[in-house]
Amino acid sequence: MTEFAIDVRGLTKRFDKRTVVDDLTIQVRRGEICGFLGPNGSGKTTTIRMLCGLLDADEGEGQCLGHDIRTESRLIKLRVGYMTQRFGLYEDLSIEENLDFVARVYGMAGRREVVRKALERLGLAERRQQLAGSLSGGWKQRLALAACMLHEPELLLLDEPTAGVDPKARRDFWQQIHALAAEGLTVLVSTHYMDEAERCHRLVYISYGKLLAAGTADDVIAHAALATWELRGDGLARAAALLAEDERWMVVPFGNAVHVSAAAGNDLPGWLATKAPDAPWTLRAIATGLEDVFISLTQHATDNFQ
For the cut 90, the answer to whether the pLDDT of residue 305 exceeds it is no
Q: Is the dihedral of CA 104, 108, 110, 113 positive or negative?
A: negative
At residue 86, the pLDDT reads 85
The CATH class that applies to domain 225-300 reads alpha beta
At residue 138, the pLDDT reads 86
Question: Amino acid identity, residue 260?
Answer: V
Query: What stretch of H or E contains 268?
Result: helix 268-275
At residue 90, the pLDDT reads 93
> How much is the average pLDDT of 4-8?
96
Q: What is the pLDDT of residues 121-141, one digit of tens each?
A: 888 999 999 999 999 888 998
* Contacts for 163 with CB less than 8 Å, ≥ 6 apart: 85, 192
SS3 annotation, 83-101: ECCCCCCCCCCEHHHHHHH
CA distance 51 to 7: 10
All structural domains of the chain with their residue ranges: 4-220, 225-300
* Contacts for 169 with CB less than 8 Å, ≥ 6 apart: 136, 137, 138, 141, 142, 162
Q: Looking at the domain 4-220, which fold is it?
A: Rossmann fold (3.40.50)
For 49-94, give the DSSP string: HHHTTSS--SEEEEEETTEETTT-HHHHHHHEEEE-SS--S-TTSB
At residue 41, the pLDDT reads 86
At residue 17, the pLDDT reads 85
SS3 annotation, 180-215: HHHCCCEEEEECCCHHHHCCCCEEEEEECCEEEEEE
- The more confident residue out of 299 and 90 is 90
At residue 94, the pLDDT reads 97
Task: Lowest mean pLDDT of 3-12, 64-73, 163-172, 266-275, name the range.
Answer: 163-172
* Contacts for 289 with CB less than 8 Å, ≥ 6 apart: 194, 221, 228
Task: Lowest mean pLDDT of 75-89, 96-110, 159-173, name the range.
Answer: 159-173
Give the pTM. 0.89
At residue 296, the pLDDT reads 87
Mean pLDDT of the chain: 91
CA distance 280 to 217: 35
Q: Order of strands, edge to edge, in the sheet holding 250-254? A: 250-254, 257-263, 226-233, 281-286
At residue 50, the pLDDT reads 94
CA distance 167 to 157: 21
For the cut 60, the answer to whether the pLDDT of residue 66 exceeds it is yes
- The more confident residue out of 2 and 131 is 131
At residue 275, the pLDDT reads 92
> How much is the average pLDDT of 144-152?
92
DSSP for residue 131: B
At residue 303, the pLDDT reads 61
* Per-residue confidence band for 1, with pLDDT thresholds at 50, 70 and 90: low
At residue 300, the pLDDT reads 64
* Contacts for 16 with CB less than 8 Å, ≥ 6 apart: none
> How much is the average pLDDT of 57-74?
94
* Per-residue confidence band for 56, with pLDDT thresholds at 50, 70 and 90: very high
CA distance 187 to 185: 6
At residue 79, the pLDDT reads 93
> How much is the average pLDDT of 55-65?
94
For the cut 60, the answer to whether the pLDDT of residue 170 exceeds it is yes
For the cut 60, the answer to whether the pLDDT of residue 304 exceeds it is no
* Per-residue confidence band for 306, with pLDDT thresholds at 50, 70 and 90: low
